[in-house]
Amino acid sequence: MADGSRERNEALFRNVNEQIEDLSKTVPPDEPLMEFLCECDNRDCVEKISATRAEYEAVRSVATHFIVVPGHEDPDIEHIALQNERFRVVEKEGRAAREAEEGEPGET
């Protein structure tokens, strides 16, 4: 006598899963893009980067990581740790990395 109800349950779960799948396709990313200033070494640079708060916080969570406009990286002192169509994340190397970790620009 339980057979009928079990089939109904499976159909119900399948329906719920299909609804979840539909929702995940239509719901836009909940993180709005924000504007951040390029963090490259050019002090005159005023270019802006579009990133979500979560993306920027992920960059800031690593002392040697900085967010820059594509093309603003300096291969002499840093390498690209992450990149997408909106921005690049550079990881400082050597002396620049130590300065970044200490939080003090060595020359100013």
Q: How far is the CB of 47 from Zn ion (least distance, A)?
A: 5
By beta-carbon proximity to Zn ion, the closer residue of 15 and 84 is 84
Q: What distances in angstroms separate CA 26 from CA 18, 29, 54, 79, 102, one per listed residue?
A: 13, 9, 21, 37, 45
Q: How far is the CB of 10 from Zn ion (least distance, A)?
A: 56
Does position 65 interact with Zn ion (CB under 5 A)? The reply is no
Buried b (16+ CB within 10 A) or exposed e, 50-85: ebbeebbeebeeeebbbbbbeebbeeeebeebeeee
Among 49, 55, 72, 87, binds Zn ion (CB under 5 A): 72
Binding mask 37-56 for Zn ion (x = CB under 5 A): -x-x----x-----------
* DSSP-derived secondary structure letter, 25: H
By beta-carbon proximity to Zn ion, the closer residue of 25 and 43 is 43
Residues interacting with Zn ion, by CB under 5 A? 38, 40, 45, 69, 72
